[in-house]
Amino acid sequence: MHFKIEKKLKDSLGRAGVLTTAHGAIETPAFVPVGTKATVKSLLPEEVKNLGAQVVLANTYHLYLQPGDELVAEAGGLHKFMNWNGPIITDSGGFQVFSLGAAYGKDFSKIIRGTEPTVQIPECSSAEDGVPRLATIGNDGVSFRSHIDGSLHYITPEKSMEIQHNLGADIIFAFDEATSPHENYAYQDEALSRTHAWAKRSLEYHHSKPNKNTQALFGIVQGGLEKDLRKKSAEYISTLPFDGFGIGGSYTKEHMELTTRLVNEILPEGKPRHLLGIGEPEDLFMGVENGVDLFDCVAPTRNARNGSLYTKNGKINITNTKYREDFSPIEEGCGCYTCKNYTVAYVSHLFHGKEMLAATLASIHNLYFIINLVKKMRQSILEDNFFEFKKEFLKEYLK
């Protein structure tokens, strides 16, 4: 893997570059569509490629459970298995420590609401609080109760690496613990020590295998909402010989920005940075401005399936009554396949009729919108007008 910075943004951390992987180059900053189970939901790989995606992200935990990483290896690896010849990234399963653990059955997720970031739910600090969860954390690894069949699985940093080696993505991630923002400081500190120890173990395992030559390994910075822990994490992870870095966690938007800036000021400039699980248009601007090179997020595809579509004037809910007789495209002038060929009324009809094509056409539009938005950000960096572009876009988008 090779990363080259082409141009830096003045007075900020932003930059445009090219990341070359074993399966091709990625012009950064770039948005990475999520295909958790080795498929970007509702889309053919050809469509994903045609709408402008350069790379996709699949999930270690899900593929390990089904169909199994060894089967994928037997099939010739993820690229061949899912018929995607471009770059692939796999997440380590670290996010599932959070989503199936502390966040299981709760009403909070990746982005938390409210302006008070230090809100703590004390009972979350203990795994023995009787609250049901599918992931239980130990210092050596994490026990997962399969959400598919209830079977018990134990994933360690080494196991995550082994699975990711079998899957064969171009970029893989160290196994980490994404913590709940509601945990107290003591827990965040303890969890961070674990993430750091696991980062080292992930790296050692990876470097002991020939896969190190074809697969790049990214380390992950955690630290919750605590500034000093984030700093500590960025500093420690920076010292390890990772090929690039991920920034993970769950936070308020305000904290995400502070964290991204703080962390990227510390991470080595010459290596790529991936802001995990982000985001919405305004978040992507924030990330790019603060030195993020890669983003992945389920938002465009999940929102699409749920009828929420991006337009330059904000998101619309296409199932609303007012769109039933709207014979214009979702967005006037949009270059996506859906907008070039179909009307809002038609897509609305597909949603009301619960037709599968609704998800496909909506996903094409949303992914095109987001991928293209980040491409325009890249272009604006190269043309020295990022801030003007940002201001203009957000003025219309956020109304």
Partner RNA sequence: GCGUCGGUCGGAUAGCGGCUAUUCCAGGAGACUGUAAAUCUCCCGCCUUCGGGCAUCAGUGGUUCGAGUCCACUCCGACGCA
Q: Does position 95 bind RNA by CB under 7 A?
A: yes
Q: Is 324 in the site for RNA (CB under 7 A)?
A: yes
- Position 144 contacts RNA (CB under 7 A): no
Residues recognised as catalytic: 91, 296
Does 349 contact RNA by CB under 7 A?
A: no
| DSSP SS3 for 215 | coil
Work out the number of other CB atoms within 10 angstroms of the CB of residue 130: 7
Q: Which of 165, 201, 230, 253 binds RNA (CB under 7 A)?
A: 253
With respect to RNA, which residue has the nearer C-beta, 91 or 331?
91
Site string for RNA, 353-372 (x = CB under 7 A): -x-x--x-------------
282 vs 296: CA distance, rounded Å: 14
Q: Does 159 bind RNA (CB under 7 A)?
A: no
Phi-psi region of 31 (alpha: psi -120 to 50; beta: other; left: phi over 0): beta
CB contact set of 74 (below 8 Å; sequence gap of 6+): none
Min dist CB 274 to RNA, Å, is 9
Cis omega before residue 223 (within 30°)?
A: no
Instruction: Find the binder of RNA among 86, 223, 307, 329 (CB under 7 A).
Output: 307
Residues 19, 283 contacting (CB under 8 angstroms): no
Contacts by 3-9, CB closer than 8 A, 24 or more apart: 3/244, 3/270, 3/271, 3/272, 3/293, 5/269, 5/270, 6/382, 7/381, 7/382, 9/289, 9/381, 9/386
- Contact call for residue 308 and RNA (CB under 7 A): yes
Instruction: Indicate the residue among 40 and 364 with the shorter CB distance to RNA.
Output: 40
Give the strand pairing for 2-8 and 15-21: antiparallel
Q: Is 233 a residue that touches RNA (CB under 7 A)?
A: no
The contact set with RNA (CB under 7 A) reads 34, 36, 40-41, 57, 59, 62, 91-92, 94-96, 98-100, 104-105, 109-111, 134, 147, 173, 176, 178, 220, 222, 246, 248-249, 253, 276-280, 283, 296-299, 301-303, 305-308, 315, 317, 319-322, 324, 352, 354, 356, 359
